[in-house]
Copies of this chain bind each other. A is one copy, B any other.
Amino acid sequence: MKLNIALLAGDGIGPEVIDQAVKVSDAIAKKFNHEINWKPALTGAAAIDAVGEPYPDETHEICASSDAVLFGAIGHPRFDNDPSAKVRPEQGLLKMRKKLGLFANVRPTFTFPSLLDKSPLKRERIEGTDLVFLRELTGGIYFGEKGRRDDGETAFDNCVYTRAEVQRLAKKGFELAMTRGKKLCCVDKANVLETSRLWRETVQAMEKDYPEVEVSYEFVDAVAMRLVQWPNSYDVLITENLFGDILTDEASVISGSMGLMPSASLGSDIGLFEPIHGSYPQATGLNIANPMATVLSAAMMFENFGLQEEGKAIRDAVNNALNKGIVTEDLADGGKSYGTKEVGDWLAENI
C-alpha cells in the first residue's frame, strides 16, 4: 500500500513521541512492503508561534490530501490561565475536527496485565476491562451558537443535534459492537434534555437493524458511577460530544494504563490518530515521555486501513516491551528505565 500520512507533531512532548511512532511505522512498512510518505505540518501553539493560527490553511490542505493524520499533542501552559486569550491551541483542534469531518472519536480503554496494579482501582474491579467509547465530535454544545447578552451579564451555549448526526455516530457504534461483544450502551440524559431524547429515540429506531446487538440506555450520571464501580461490564458506549469529553477522560484513568491509551477520530474519509495524553510541557525535550500511546495510535491507523496484521505486529511489540521492562520511567516503578528514543528504537527493531 502507498500511504500519505500527515504528521502533526504539535506541542510539548508531541514531537518526541511522534518520532518514535514514525520509526515504528517505517519498520512496519519495510516488513509488510508498504510505502509511507510522511507530510509534516504545523499545529497548536507551535503553529500560533509560526503563523498566528493553531490550524493554518496550509496544514488543513496537507491533512485533507492525505490518507490519515498522525497527531502528537496540543497545548501550552502559556494559554492555560488566560480564558480570554483570542487565539488558543484548542481552537485548532476544534477547527480541525470540524473541517476534516471527524465526527466519531474512538477511545478504547483496556488493561495490560503487567500494569493492573498502577490503577487507582482495585485489581478485581478492572481485570478484563475492554471497552470503547464512541464520542460524537463535531456537534452538540461545542459547536452550537454561543455568546453574551445583557452587556455581557448573561452567557449562553446552545446544544444542537440533528437526527442524521446521531444516526451516523450510532451506526458506527452498532457496527463496532458487532465486531466485539455485541453490547451497546447509549449514554444520555433523556430525563432532562431534549437532545438526549432525540439521541435515545434515534438509537431505539436503529435497534431492529442490528438484532444481535444488546442495547442499553443509561443516564450520564449513572455511567459516571458505574465506570468506577464495574468498568468491565461495558463493551461499546456511544454518546454526545460533552458527555464523551468527561466520560472518556474518566475511563482513561481506571485502567492504570492511561499513558498507553491511543485514540482515533474518524469521519467519512481521513482518520486522525493520536495518544489521549496531553503535551506534558514539563517533560519536553527530556527524552522521558512514554511513546507507547502514540505508537499504539499508529497501530489503530494501520487497522483502520484494513491492515490488521500490521496493527497486531505493533501491539505485540508493545506487549513484549512491557513484559521485558523496556519502558520509560513512568512505568519502571523505580527500576531500570529507558529513554523515549530508546523505547522507540527497541520497538522498531522488534517489529
A-side interface residues toward B, CB under 8 Å? Answer: 81, 83-84, 88, 90, 94, 120-122, 125, 141-142, 144, 146-148, 150, 153-164, 189-198, 200-201, 217, 220-222, 224-225, 227-229, 242-243, 245-250, 252-254
Contacts and interface: CB of A to CB of B under 8 A. Distances in A.
B194 A148 contact: yes
Given A83-B191, A88-B191, A121-B121, A162 B146 contact: no
Nearest to A248: B221
B220 A246 contact: yes
A122 to B, nearest CB: 6
A315 to B, nearest CB: 25
11 contacts: A83-B197, A94-B192, A120-B121, A120-B122, A154-B160, A155-B195, A157-B159, A189-B242, A225-B252, A228-B228, A250-B250
A155 B160 contact: yes
Given A155-B161, A220-B245, 4 more contacts: A94-B192, A150-B162, A157-B193, A157-B195
Given A146-B193, A195-B157, A201-B83, A120 B242 contact: no
Contacts of A191: 83, 88, 90
A195 to B, nearest CB: 5
Contacts of A141: 141, 159, 192-193
B250 A83 contact: no
Contacts of A245: 189, 220-221
A147 to B, nearest CB: 6
A171 to B, nearest CB: 17
A181 B187 CA distance: 35
A160 B147 CA distance: 10
A154 B146 contact: no
Contacts of A122: 120-122
A256 to B, nearest CB: 10
A197 B84 CA distance: 8
Nearest to A163: B153
A226 to B, nearest CB: 8
Given A197-B83, A224-B224, A228-B120, A158 B155 contact: no
Nearest to A254: B228
B194 A221 contact: no
A141 B193 CA distance: 8
Contact of A229 (B125, B201, B253): B253
